[in-house]
């Protein structure tokens, strides 16, 4: 089977496996077993676990950039922000391993990784265009949105919310608060 595998197929399989078992549980051995090959055969396609995780991060960035871009197409202001937030939350729920891989910023010498990460940032910046932010204001706003949404997503994924209140209602309120904050950002 290893002869029919490509690097892309191995990375895609690893992405699916990480969604099932968690990124922290993904090892070369588990990946090889899941592929039905001896674990050393995985090294024909990836240099090591670090290389695999970097590839997962690049793939996740490209996937989520496409999902977010599609969700926000033709929208502006609060509508774009809501679509962005909702699409990210839903994608993260479907792809927890990929979401975890997305959180590690690429190394400065990883041109492909940086380009993939910049795709995500460009989509977020586009979703925020109605707020007319530029330079440091835009950078800070993107970080604010990302960190707020990330906190909610991770707490939701790890069972951090045990109160009886609807998570959807809380999420809607958080997104509305983001919109209020961004409206007065500059």
For 16-28, the pLDDT digits (tens) are: 999 999 999 999 9
Dist CA 90 CA 71 (whole Å): 11
Residue 12 has pLDDT above 90, yes or no: yes
Residue 2 has pLDDT above 70, yes or no: no
Alpha-carbon distances of 40 from 16, 32, 68, 72, rounded to whole Å? 20, 8, 36, 42
Query: What is the DSSP secondary structure assignment for residue 107, as one 8-state letter?
Result: P
Question: What is the residue extent of each domain of the chain?
Answer: 2-183
**What sections of the chain are H helices per DSSP?**
7-21, 28-35, 39-42, 49-72, 77-94, 96-102, 111-127, 135-157, 167-183
What does the mean pLDDT of the chain come to?
A: 96
Dist CA 145 CA 126 (whole Å): 13
Residue 119 has pLDDT above 90, yes or no: yes
The band of 4, judged by pLDDT with boundaries at 50, 70 and 90, is confident
The region, left, alpha or beta by phi > 0 then psi within -120 to 50, assigned to residue 27 is beta
Mean pLDDT of 155-162: 96
CB 46 within 8 A of CB 10: yes
| Level-2 CATH architecture, domain 2-183 | Orthogonal Bundle (1.10)
The band of 1, judged by pLDDT with boundaries at 50, 70 and 90, is very low
Residue corresponding to tokens 């950039």:
65
CB 141 within 8 A of CB 182: yes
Q: Kindly give the interhelix angle for 167-183 and 77-94, rounded to the nearest 10 degrees.
A: 140
């Amino acid at each position: 089977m290893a002869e029919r595998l490509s690097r892309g197929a191995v990375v895609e399989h690893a992405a699916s496996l990480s969604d099932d078992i968690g990124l922290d549980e993904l090892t070369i051995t588990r990946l090889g077993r899941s592929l039905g090959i001896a674990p050393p055969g995985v090294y024909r396609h990836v240099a090591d676990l670090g290389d695999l995780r970097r590839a997962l991060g690049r793939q996740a960035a490209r996937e989520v950039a496409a999902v977010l871009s599609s969700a926000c197409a033709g929208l502006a202001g609060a509508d774009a922000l809501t679509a962005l937030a909702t699409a990210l939350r839903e994608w993260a729920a479907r792809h927890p391993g990929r979401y975890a891989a997305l959180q590690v910023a690429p190394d400065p010498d990883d041109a492909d990784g940086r380009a993939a990460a910049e795709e995500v940032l460009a989509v977020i910046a586009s979703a925020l265009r109605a707020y007319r932010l530029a330079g440091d204001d835009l950078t800070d706003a993107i970080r604010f949105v990302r960190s707020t949404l990330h906190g909610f997503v991770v707490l939701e994924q790890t069972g951090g919310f045990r109160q009886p209140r609807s998570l959807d209602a809380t999420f809607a309120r958080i997104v509305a608060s983001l919109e209020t904050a961004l409206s007065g950002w500059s």
